[in-house]
């Protein structure tokens, strides 16, 4: 039983580090475009402002969720699940934007797919490790 507990702790620590790292990178990249000069924004191409703002703000929540997971707090599981859902909803809204011929970059499709997958995975693993096993 001790080995299983150690694996659970290691897995939670791993996903918490991924969450914090992902959050810090998201804040840096989003902030560079949002608060950079015109040349910086031009290099970003056809970014979608509501997606960029969502990701930038969510980056702070990613860091908070990662810290909560590191501390093995149940509220962090709910935050991770909320982030997964909010990311999926934003991705769907982005899809509607594209459907109505809105300008976008292909990298946004890739990034939002990755964000949705990463946060769905983090939420699922956190649920299994911090909530489901304690029931």
What is the pLDDT tens value at each position of the chain, 135 positions in all? 344 555 668 999 999 999 999 999 999 999 999 999 999 999 999 999 999 999 999 999 999 999 999 999 999 999 999 999 999 999 999 999 999 999 999 999 999 999 999 999 999 999 999 887 655
Handedness of CA 83, 68, 11, 23 (dihedral sign): positive
Residue ranges of the domains in the chain? 2-134
pTM of the model: 0.89
- The token duo for 5 is 């507990």
The residues near 34 (Cβ < 8 Å, ≥ 6 apart) are: 52, 53, 56
């Amino acid at each position: 039983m001790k080995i299983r507990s150690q694996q659970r702790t290691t897995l939670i620590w791993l996903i918490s580090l991924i969450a914090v790292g992902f959050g810090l990178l998201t804040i840096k990249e989003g902030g560079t475009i949002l608060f950079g000069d015109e040349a910086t924004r031009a290099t970003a191409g056809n970014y979608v402002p509501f997606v960029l703002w969502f990701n930038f703000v969510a980056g702070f929540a990613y860091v908070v969720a990662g810290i909560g997971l590191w501390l093995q707090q149940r509220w962090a599981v709910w935050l991770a699940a909320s982030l997964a859902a909010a990311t999926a909803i934003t991705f769907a809204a982005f899809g509607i934007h594209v459907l109505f011929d809105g300008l976008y970059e292909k990298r946004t499709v890739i990034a939002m797919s990755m964000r949705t997958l990463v946060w769905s995975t983090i939420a699922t693993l956190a649920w299994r490790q911090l909530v489901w096993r304690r029931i």
